[in-house]
Structure 1
Amino acid sequence: MSDTARRKSPTRIQREKREAILEAALDVFSTHGFRGATLDLIADAAGLSKPNLLYYFPSKEEIHRTLIGQLMEIWLAPLRKIDPGGDPVSEICAYVERKLEISRDLPRESRLFANEVLRGAPHVGDMLQGGLKALVDEKAAVIRAWSEAGHLAPVDPHHLIFSIWAATQHYADFDTQVAMVLGPRDATRYEDARAFLLGLYARGLRPLPAR
């Protein structure tokens, strides 16, 4: 694809094909991982020939990085919504709830991200060390200020955020394991998880009573 062609606004059909490729690639990467995914598998899943796919994306790496880039926006949106002016316990519990909803609604995206991180983030390390780290540090500073002001129980803000990631993403990344214990996925699984996690964090984060 020439530089001139890339600069032109894509047509509706081109946009649709590009989205079809990304949707197919999401399935392939989340199922097979980066190493197991091939351009042939992605092209077949998208209903395109391999040369047609390569017209839109020059490599498997480019498709993967595009997907991760889109996911990062979804991934960081719930954290951005933490309001420094809000009630601290309510703000953190709302973050837990938003992260759990992503695991429920976007399990393929969660597994794609987990697979990349488990491989050492070779394709998105710059994203993690850039935008993600900056936002986490910003919100950690907010949480630390709440805790130091006595509005939260004493807590390490970074490890609190890590624990929320682990607790909520488990339901997507380890869905098979959860299903083996609890049975097939149904609506009650996430309602039960939501009630448990919100209760756990709310109790653990409430400020200690004054002596």
Structure 2
Amino acid sequence: MRRATLPDGATKKPSRIQTRNRRAILDAALEVFSRHGYRGATLDQIAAEAGLSKPNILYYFDGKEDIHVTLLSKLMTTWLDPLVALDPEGDPKAEILAYVQRKLDMARDLPRESRLFANEILQGAPRIQPQLEDALKPLFEEKCALIARWVRQDRLPPVDPAHLIFSIWATTQHYADFEAQVRVLLGTQGNPHAGASAHLKQMFETLLSDRPGPEVPGINQN
């Protein structure tokens, strides 16, 4: 949003109406982008969804890409929080199962955000590549190292840390990214997330059980 510059170089704080309009634009854009993807979304659609004129949209943002990047930047912190919460001092199995549940809760509570993120990745991450490299990759490597340490300490069975995390992402985010398909296939069988929670807990508990398994390259090395 373009702010008026005061004589001393400070910026004028947005009014409540400006803050409300900006929030309405971002919420409308989230709905439009999650439904149509970046390429299929237009400023006219965002304006109609927000109940504002197109020139009003352009008062707050420079264009469609500016809105999209703003949404993705706000989303990245939310997206990383469940992985950040993986506690090195906690019980490994309990920590990983809690992470699975947090990701599934996000799929239930933030389906539009999940689809926004998925659409960006499917396009090759043209607008979020820096955040993937600067924020997600270091955190991902840190948590992979933590899981590898738990394996070496015999606190977890041999698992590949990276593919374990990928599997958690794939199984939990499916319920948001393919929500329409899930609801059609399950029909009236109740809340899909309740069934998903029980199933994923059982599946990952089995994977993380103390059964003997093959040695995973790079995990059991000192």
Q: How does 1:176-187 map to 2 (within 5 A)?
A: 176-183=180-187, 186-187=190-191
Give the structure 2 partner of residue 40 of structure 1: 44
1:203 matches 2:206: yes
Counterpart for residue 220 of structure 2: none
Out of 155, 178, 197, the position equivalent to 1:194 is 197
- State TM-score, norm by structure 2: 0.89
Q: Which runs of 5+ in 2 are unaligned?
A: 213-222
Code of the residue aligned with 1:140 in structure 2: it is C
Whole-angstrom distance in 2 between the partners of 1:56 and 1:184 = 43
| CA distance, structure 2, for counterparts of residue 117 and residue 8 of structure 1 | 36
Q: Within 5 Å, give how 1:152-191 maps onto structure 2.
A: 152-183=156-187, 186-187=190-191, 189-191=192-194
Cα deviation digits, residues 19-45 of structure 1 (max 9, x gap): 000000001000111011011110111
- Contact between 1:151 and 1:206, CA under 8 Å: does it hold in 2? no
* Corresponding residue of 2:218: none
Q: Does 1:130 align with 2:134?
A: yes
What secondary structure does 2:125 align onto? coil
1:29-85 Cα distance to aligned partner (Å, 9 max, x none): 001110110111101111111111111111111100111111111111100100000
Give the equivalent residue in structure 1 for 2:62. 58
Deviations 1:134-181 (A, max 9, x none): 111111111110011100010111111010000000001011221221
Q: 1:105 aligns with which of 106, 109, 128?
A: 109
Given candidates 146, 151, 163, the residue that maps to 2:150 is: 146
Shift of residue 192, structure 1, vs aligned partner: 0.9
Q: Percent identity?
A: 56
**Greater helix share, 1 or 2?**
1
Contact 2:3/2:12 (8 A) holds in 1: no
Equivalent residues, number: 208
Paired residue secondary structure (1:45): helix
Tell me the C-alpha RMSD between the 2 structures: 1.6
- Structure 1 distance, partners of 2:27, 2:141, is 32
Residues 184 and 173 of structure 1, relative CA distance in 2, 3 Å threshold: farther
Residues 176-205 of structure 1 deviation map (CA, whole Å, 9 limit, x = unaligned): 221221115843x11111011011111211
Alignment of 1:4 onto 2:5: yes
Query: TM-score w.r.t. structure 1 length?
Result: 0.94
**Where does the alignment leave 5 or more consecutive residues of structure 1 unmatched?**
none
Which structure has the larger Rg? Answer: 2
**In 2, Cα distance between the equivalents of 1:207 and 1:144?**
15
Q: List 4+ stretches of structure 1 deviating above 3 A.
A: none
